[in-house]
Amino acid sequence: MAYQSFENLEVWKRSCRLAVVVCKTVGESKHFALRDQMMRAVISIPSNIAEGYERDSDPDFVRFLRIAKGSAAELRTQCYIASELALFPKEQLQFFIQECREVSAMLQGLIRARSKSET
């Protein structure tokens, strides 16, 4: 079978797009701690997908997919906090929250598929 790459995964592509838009949105914020944490969380999602994929092991890949899913939940939480503090436009934060939910669902599907191939 020919080598496939993480760049072919739709969840990786989508999480990269999310990372770019989140970083552009929060990048100029003066709330340094929350801004930096949001940027770390969103960048962690596609980074962990890529790292896990390149481990060439389904158990490792699944472990990193779970870490990526956790980072998506972390970003959702930070969006709720930022929304309550009115730091960014509410519509933009709602978009981030929805994207995180959808990315998480995609990750869960991939986790299920790869977990079944382990058995």
Q: Where are the domains of the chain?
A: 9-118
Q: In a 10 Å sphere around its CB, with 0-12 CB exposed, 13-18 middle and 19+ buried, how is residue 95 labelled? A: middle
What global pTM score does this model have?
0.94
**Residue-wise pLDDT tens digits, 8-50:** 999 999 999 999 999 999 999 999 999 999 999 999 999 999 9
Tokens read off for 10: 């739709």
pLDDT at 4: 86
Which residue type is seen at 98? Q
Class for domain 9-118, per CATH? mainly alpha
Tokens read off for 103: 């990315």
Percent of the chain with pLDDT strictly greater than 70:
95
pLDDT at 1: 37
Rg (CA), the chain: 15
